[in-house]
Structure 1
Amino acid sequence: MEITEMIKDAVLEASTTFRTDQIHAYRRALDLEVNENAKWVLELLLENAEIAHKEKMPLCDDTGIPHIYMEVDEDTAIPAGFFKEIKEGVARGLRELPARPMAVRGDSIEKIEQSQGLYNDPGMLVPPSFFIDTISEDLSQYGASGNELKDGVKVHVLMLGGGPEIRAHTYKVFHKRDHRKVFGDVKTWLRSEIPMMGCTPCIPTVGIGRTHFEASSLMLKAMAYGDLNQQSELENDITEFLNSSNTGALGIGGSVTALGSFINVGPQRASGVRILCTRPCCCVEPRRSSVYISSESLDGF
């Protein structure tokens, strides 16, 4: 299968399909929920996911902005034209879905002001600059092994919606040499923003690094690899804190405000601050899929 077709299928899968850990998390939420109205919402969200997967329809009418995160083995050569194929695959997937036309026309000022309207072609919704990393051999916190992905490229497609972006935040925290201070700030921020997001239950995702770019990159990696069936003590702490807020599904009250949490802590520097990127993924996110392209496929590209 050509690379363009693989990426197109990845866009469609991310946009239309709940992961297994998402389905399990929703079923656990149904067992925990005591508010009958909220339980009804959770059932509808699961039914929506079943229909979307069966009919190959978007999980949400906000079909999201495509983000591409790639992991490349250090011994793998990237052939000429490879990135062009990735972009073309994204455009084909957006058209076939079809994605909501959201690309804004015009020059810099016109795009900011949205004065020239939108492109009708969903394929004009170009992804941001690709995030490219080396394949890590330490993915144990995500239940994966870098050794499984040697000699090739792994491409993660993330479809990121507007609601979570509005409530996301990248900021500094004075840590005072205490991780509880850092995560206390995370919980305070999330507790203030999530009730205004509307599309709960959520999955808060947090990256902690040395710079704003690094924190955002770590957050994206947490979305690519996070698993609701494997939660750390810190992830469970954030989830339990948010569930005690009684925000509930769609903000109507209830026992389950968060299905789980994804946290990724990267290298840190000798400093009094930590840089955090915090994003509360909505009830259908993170919408993601991944494809592995072997070195043999790249050789024949």
Structure 2
Amino acid sequence: MEIIEEISKSIIEASTTLTDDKLVALENAIEIEDNENARWALSQILENYKVAEKTRFPLCDDTGIPHVIIEAGCEREITGDLLNQIHEGIALGLNNLPARPMAVKGNEIQRIEQSIGLYEKPGMLKPASILIDCANDESTYKREISPDTLNLHFILEGGGPEIRAKTYRVYHKRSFKNVIDTAIDWLSDSLNMLGCTPSIPSIGIGRTHYEANALLLKSVAYGNLTNQSDTEIYVNSRLNDTGIGPLGFGGKTTVLGSYVNVGNQRASGVRIVAVRPSCFVEPRVATLKL
């Protein structure tokens, strides 16, 4: 029961607070912004963060779909009991938050058509399939995972960014710049339509659509805006040059930072690229260490 309660608290934490690096990035953006409307929007966003954390109220009405990464060292076991506790803890957290009811009732056809309505309890919203990470992972965001590590990362993914996300093939033409510029072009288009910038977009580059999105999700859990790579700095510069700005008001800050995670590649002319723009309340992440 203790683990279930701690998972519930982690879900509430992810929904109501942002990490220090994101708050610092927003404060820095306010300081350098000279567009009056953009500066006002950024200040209102910061105030929203502070109110949500103080009241333990969700950062956004779209409380998101839970995603879980289990980070496991070689001496730890992932049991069926733990997986059940994760599901129970997430349901308890969504109910205690309380999250917005979003789980659709019915069989496969009724769920697609949303023809018989929603469940009243927020906890009926099930998490996405759980992703397991270990020391054998090879990617930009590769972790040094000690043998006794067992961390649960909870990520709440909102609907707006999912609508604007994209996963597709890119012919690399033996040029990393061609691949990353294609991803930036996709993000430029999506951020222009998102409506709730500034964003912290994520890019995953892998061999399959599943792998590219798994790499993207790991970057969301592990990324830090105070430690940006040269590639991420390039992405930030290109996207901020679009002038979209916070809430589309223009200005210097379309993105607060970005995450770019490149995994294993296969002998092929194709790279599978996944991009996801986040809204200004994301990434919503919390970690429970067991």
* Aligned match of 1:268: 265
The alpha carbon displacement at 1:59 in A equals 0.4
* Aligned match of 1:105: 105
Greater mean alpha carbon deviation, residues 32-41 or residues 221-230: 32-41
Matching of residues 216-295 of structure 1 within 5 Å? 216-293=213-290
The alpha carbon displacement at 1:80 in A equals 4.3
The alpha carbon displacement at 1:128 in A equals 1.3
Q: Is the 8 A contact 2:72 2:145 kept in 1?
A: no
The runs of 5 or more residues in structure 1 that have no matched partner are 294-301
The alpha carbon displacement at 1:118 in A equals 0.5
CA distance in structure 1 between the aligned counterparts of 2:182 and 2:266, rounded to whole angstroms? 19
AA partner of residue 252 (structure 1)? F
The runs of 5 or more residues in structure 2 that have no matched partner are none
**CA 1:27–1:117 in structure 2 vs 1: closer, same or farther (change >3 Å)?**
same
The alpha carbon displacement at 1:216 in A equals 0.5
Alignment partner for residue 159 of structure 2, among 158, 162, 177? 162
Backbone CA RMSD of aligned residues:
1.6
CA distance in structure 2 between the aligned counterparts of 1:78 and 1:269, rounded to whole angstroms? 30
CA distance in structure 1 between the aligned counterparts of 2:53 and 2:93, rounded to whole angstroms? 15
* 1:227-273 deviation digits (Å, cap 9, x = unpaired): 01111111011111111111010011111100001010001111001
Q: Is the 8 A contact 2:73 2:134 kept in 1?
A: yes
Aligned with 2:231: secondary structure?
Answer: helix
Q: TM (normalized to structure 1)?
A: 0.93
* Aligned match of 1:35: 35
AA partner of residue 11 (structure 1)? I
CA distance in structure 1 between the aligned counterparts of 2:99 and 2:123, rounded to whole angstroms? 8
* Aligned match of 1:118: 118
AA partner of residue 100 (structure 2)? R
Q: Is the 8 A contact 2:141 2:261 kept in 1?
A: no
* 1:29-82 deviation digits (Å, cap 9, x = unpaired): 112211111111111111111111111000011100011111111221234411
**CA 1:179–1:137 in structure 2 vs 1: closer, same or farther (change >3 Å)?**
closer
CA distance in structure 1 between the aligned counterparts of 2:279 and 2:236, rounded to whole angstroms? 14
CA distance in structure 1 between the aligned counterparts of 2:243 and 2:12, rounded to whole angstroms? 34
**Identity across aligned pairs (percent)?**
49
CA distance in structure 2 between the aligned counterparts of 1:143 and 1:52, rounded to whole angstroms? 32
Greater mean alpha carbon deviation, residues 24-33 or residues 111-120: 24-33
Aligned with 2:220: secondary structure?
Answer: helix
* 1:85-129 deviation digits (Å, cap 9, x = unpaired): 110000010001110000001111111110001001000000011
Aligned with 1:281: secondary structure?
Answer: coil
* Aligned match of 1:177: 174
